[in-house]
Structure formats: structure tokens, C-alpha cells
Amino acid sequence: MNRVNFIKRIALVVFFISTTGLVAQEPSNQYSFDGNVKWMMLSESGVLVASTGEALVGIKPNQPDLHFKFERVKNVKEEHLEPVPGTPYLIIKPRGMMNHTVVIDVVKGKMVFDSKKEDWQGGVASRHLIYPEMMFVVNGMHREKGLGQYTQGVGLYDLKTGELVKIFERKASNAMVGVPDIKGNTIIIPGLKNVKAYDISSGSTIWTAEVKNATRISSNDANDEIYAFRTKGGNTVVYKIDGKSGNQIWSEGNKLKGNLARYEFTKAGLAVVCNVDNSGKSKLMKLASGSSQSKVYLLDTNTGADLWAKSPKTKGYINHFYIEDDGILFGVASGGINKISFDGTPLWKKPLKTGANIQLMARVDKGVLYISESDADIIDMNSGESVFGKKIKYKRSEAVASAFDESRGRFLLSCKDGLYAIDGNDGSYEIINGDPNFEGKEVVQNIEIRDNNLLLSSDQNMTWLNFDGSEKNHVFHRAPGKSAFGLILAGTLTAMSATAAISHSAQAGYLKGAGVPSYNSTVNYHEQQADSWANIADQGFQEMAKRFKATKATENAAFILTKIDGGVGLIKVDKDSGETVKEILVKDKKPMYEVDDFEGVLYFKADNKSIHAYNLND
């Protein structure tokens, strides 16, 4: 299950047994407000965030009192929120003509940045979160305490402490225009006129490089190389700067076709992916310049020259990009996988043809497993050919769910054709269930390997299968209603994830590894994140690590909301037997609710001015 579905999964809707004898359970905690509850969302950290019109409030699982209540941010709309994946931070973005920006650590219940409180005139003009340092960089007019005059500057805030680190004064004519970077005790800021490096402790200028309008700065942690990327007329120019003196090593810059999509430091040079958008061109121009596609460059870090005679053909945008020991592996959104050595020669006889929308690429024992919307296979990384000599082809499927049945040494894959079982040793496969019998035009979204059966599920369906694929039990019921925030949050997280792809964190390996990740780490995202968070010396991250290392409330039970006699009820279902072990009547035809899968808590908007929390583990 991917991170967005996991964070925002609204409980599966099912109806198992007669509801005669249903008893309404009393909420374990009740929260009342003076204003109306307009929306609520469950953050990745497990804190419920809600807007009551009078304030933004936070609720921690199984706590009787509010975790926080911020009256400074009233009437916040969902579209103004920007959760930062993999962190406890929630950014409240500017709205309209106002540039008021707030950052909240929802785990600590602390407002770690407030542009009004910090006295930024009219808010901040731009803002950037730098990983893995967790520093927040803002740009605007700032007034220091005790002084009556606003001055142009860039502010650096440590979100782990909520403290201002330093203000770097700058002229308005040289305002920050791109994403800065931090290297040790140095911050490098791109401006309208040049790039400046400052000593963070003293605020003094270390050097100045005459590179105008850089859109992104990146430092190579292995040495003193600084790279500045500039967008110019739909293309990208890359400059290299000496990190000690500020001297331009590539004075003219290296001009690359297309807009910067991502980059990676490799042992052979700087790998850069640019997207060339030809969608708006006339038919004649498209014939001359080709379709929209990604171009891959490998730049010599000494001279800036492209080490490859020509960029490999992609015939579409790259959406999977991995640095392996012997070269670069990439997958294209429209279909296709290829691997190029660091000297620019293809490592495979020809690019591998695949279906469009490669949903998964992950390393398994025999090679790399890929799953697209119309085929799947395990490929040999040396030859680029099928390990078993054949791929699985199936009808085009918008969603393809997969799981590894370790005790039987097989992969399970669900698509429009049905449920495939794929032998992990010889690649043989068969359809063990041709029709999971899902209703409401739904498809399988998740597969779980239970001790005694297989569990296939979607929003409104659950099906239990024997290990041979025969059906044991199936239930379906229509959803009574969903929190309106779900789709908005999903879109926000997707956008944030795309941004993170070329962030400092991505380059430093904070959010991803260099090579193709293992299948296990791909499907067990939260376990992998917990290990990363535990290494960050900050209470918020350590609490998140503890949450995801703990036994999940949903390992053996599904908490399911459905329309029942008397209103809407929440059903607790044993995942192995399929039996309903608990029912809660909440009585609302169109409920606003969230279910915390890890803690086993249902949050329910009981009326306009109150939220009730139900403990699902009792």
C-alpha cells in the first residue's frame, strides 16, 4: 500500500452480519468547541488536525485534552495546508494577497514558525524547507526586535527548535529567487544578481559567484563542489562553483535542453534529467523536435562537458531513476526500462519494452521486479532480459496490487484478469482466482497474507481466499460518506512528493537510496521510515519512529464504517475469521470521520461543534 493510501485510508466499508442487538458505544473522549468543525485530517504522525473556525486544533490519540489550539490561524481552508511527508511538519501556506506563513510541528503541538510573530512585513515572499537539516528558509522584509525599520533579508529557522538561527541581510535588487542549500556551517543563497555563500554563525559573506537567477543550489557532500541550476527559456543551465572561493569553474555554464526534473551525484559525474515539453507546439514543430520526453545527461565534474555522445531515447518522461554500481537505470512513464553505463554505452542489447505507468520497480532475489498497468516481469540487471524468459501480460489495469507470500515462495498480483500466483524460483505463473467478485466497479487495492487465508480488499469490498485461490468469504457495502478532505490531501502529498524528488534530501539519501530499493522496503514504507526517524535527534521524529515501530492496531483487525440500521456504524472485523467482534453506532448519514489505523481510534464529528473519539481496541 502506498504512503498516501496508508495515511488517508478511510476504513473499508463492509457489512457482515445482522445488526440486531447493536449497542451504541460511548466515546472514550469528547472534544467541544465554540466554533463549527469545518474539516479534519489525520496527519502521518497520528495527530488529528481540525479547523473549528475559531482555531486550528490538534488531538493526540487517547488524550482527553486538546494537544494544541492555535487561535492565530483561524478559518484555515484545506487547500492552504501543505503536509510535509516524512516529517511532523504542517505548513499553512499563504492565501490571496496575504503571505502569512505558519509551520506547525504537530507532534510537539508547537508553532515552530509564524511570519507575523517573527515580524516579516506582509509575510514572506518565498519559503523553502531544506532536508535533512530541517531548516526553514524564508525571504522578505524583516524587522529586528527593538528596531522600527524593515530590511530586506533571508531568514534561517531551525524547525527542530523553532528558533531563528540567523538573518542574512540582502538588497531588494538581489532578492532570493531560488532554492538555497546548506553545507556544514555555510548557506548558499541564489539571488537575482548573484549567488552568495554566508557563514551561518556570523552571518558574514564568505564569497560571491556571478551567477544570475539561479533556481536551485546543490552541494556535493563528498567535496567542495557547489552547483547552481538556472532555468532559461524552457532549458536548464548548470554552473559549477568552487565551494571555498566562489570562483566559477564552469564560467559559461553547461546548457541542457529541457527543464530540470532531477539530478544525482554519481562516482562518474553529475547525472541530470531534464524534461522537454513539446505539447504546445504545432504538428510541424512536433515532427521536427519530437514528442515530449526526458533527456538524461552525465556531466564531467571537471569540465562540465556531457560525457555521453547523445542522450538515450526515452520517448516519454522518466518516472523511475536509479544509480546502480555499474550505471544508470531508468523507467519511462509511457513504458520502457533501460540501463546505461557511466561511459554512455547501453548495458542491454536493447531497451526493455513494458506497459505504460510502471507502478513498481523493486529488487527481489532473482533480479528486479517491475509491475506496469498491463504487464509484469522479473528482469536480469546484467542483460535486461526476463529472468524466466517470459513476462505476464494482462488487461490494462488502473490499479495493480501485489504481495509476496514468503512461506510459499511466490508473488501474488491482482489485475483485471484476476489474481496471479507467480513462482519466485522458476517464474511459472497461473491465475488462481479469475474474479475476486468485487462489487461497485471496484478493483483490488491491497493483498494481505494471513496465517490461514489471503485477504483482498478495496474501499467497499473484502474477500477471503484459500491459498489455492478459492473463495471463502466476501462482503460488500456502499460507503455512507467520506471526509471531504481525503482527495485534497492526496493531491497535496503527491505534489509534495514530486517536489522532494529533486530536494536536498533526495540527493543526500534521506528519503531514498541510490539503487533500486528492495521489494520489502518498498511495500513496508513505514518500517523503513521509522529507522530513519529514530536517527534524528528530535522529539517529534522520535515519536513518529516509536509510533510506526509499535504493533499496528490493524494487524489483526479491520475497522470498517458502514451504513447500518439506526444510522452509521463502525464494525471491528477479525481479519482471519471474518467475524465481527465489535460494533459502534454513530448515527450519521453523511459522517465526517477519520480512523487511526495504528492506534485503533475512530474520530467522528458528532455535531457541528464537537468531535468524539472511540477506542476501537477495547
Q: pLDDT tens, 339-364?
A: 999 999 999 999 999 999 999 999 99
Q: Distance between CA 104 and CA 446 in Å, rounded?
A: 32
Q: Distance between CA 26 and CA 574 in Å, rounded?
A: 22
Per-residue CA distances from 578 to 11, 16, 464, 575, 582 (Å)? 15, 8, 8, 6, 12
The mean pLDDT of 385-390, rounded to a whole number, is 93
Helix (H) or strand (E) holding 580: strand 580-585
Q: Annotate 572-598 with b (16+ C-beta within 10 A) or e (fewer).
A: bbebeebebebbbbbebeebbbbbbbb
CA angle 416–420–422, rounded 5-degree value:
145
Q: What is the pLDDT of residue 534?
A: 80
Indicate if the pLDDT at residue 522 is higher than 90: no
Please choose, from the candidates 348, 344, 353, the residue with its C-alpha nearest in 3D space to the C-alpha of residue 316. Answer: 353
- For residues 584 and 155, which has the higher predicted lDDT (pLDDT)? 155
In this structure, the number of other CB atoms found within 10 A of the CB of residue 426 comes to 12
Contacts of 271 (CB under 8 A, 6+ apart): 263, 264, 265, 296, 297, 298, 299, 323, 328
Indicate if the pLDDT at residue 12 is higher than 50: no
Indicate if the pLDDT at residue 480 is higher than 80: no
Q: What percent of the chain has pLDDT over 90?
A: 57
Query: 207 forms bridges with which residues in the sheet?
Result: 197
Indicate if the pLDDT at residue 9 is higher than 70: no
Q: What is the pLDDT of residue 221?
A: 80
Per-residue CA distances from 538 to 102, 396, 488, 541 (Å)? 20, 45, 29, 6
Q: Distance between CA 50 and CA 46 in Å, rounded?
A: 13
Q: For the chain, give the mean pLDDT.
A: 84
Cell of 186: 555555510
pLDDT in tens, 72-96: 888 888 888 999 988 999 999 866 6
Indicate if the pLDDT at residue 17 is higher than 80: no
Indicate if the pLDDT at residue 57 is higher than 80: yes
Indicate if the pLDDT at residue 26 is higher than 90: no
Contact 452, 465 (CB under 8 A): no
Indicate if the pLDDT at residue 206 is higher than 50: yes
Among 103-117, 482-496, 563-577, top mean pLDDT goes to 103-117
Contact 162, 105 (CB under 8 A): yes
- Please tell me the least confidently modeled range out of 144-148, 220-224, 384-388, 591-595: 144-148
Q: What is the pLDDT of residue 588?
A: 67
Q: What is the pLDDT of residue 551?
A: 66
Query: 29 forms bridges with which residues in the sheet?
Result: 613
Indicate if the pLDDT at residue 458 is higher than 80: yes
Indicate if the pLDDT at residue 187 is higher than 50: yes
pLDDT in tens, 588-616: 666 788 888 888 888 989 889 999 998 88
Ranges of beta strands (E only) in 333-409 are 337-341, 360-364, 367-371, 375-379, 392-393, 401-405
Q: Distance between CA 29 and CA 25 in Å, rounded?
A: 12
Q: What is the pLDDT of residue 7?
A: 34
Q: How many residues does the chain have?
A: 618
Q: What percent of the chain has pLDDT over 70?
A: 85
- For residues 183 and 283, which has the higher predicted lDDT (pLDDT)? 183
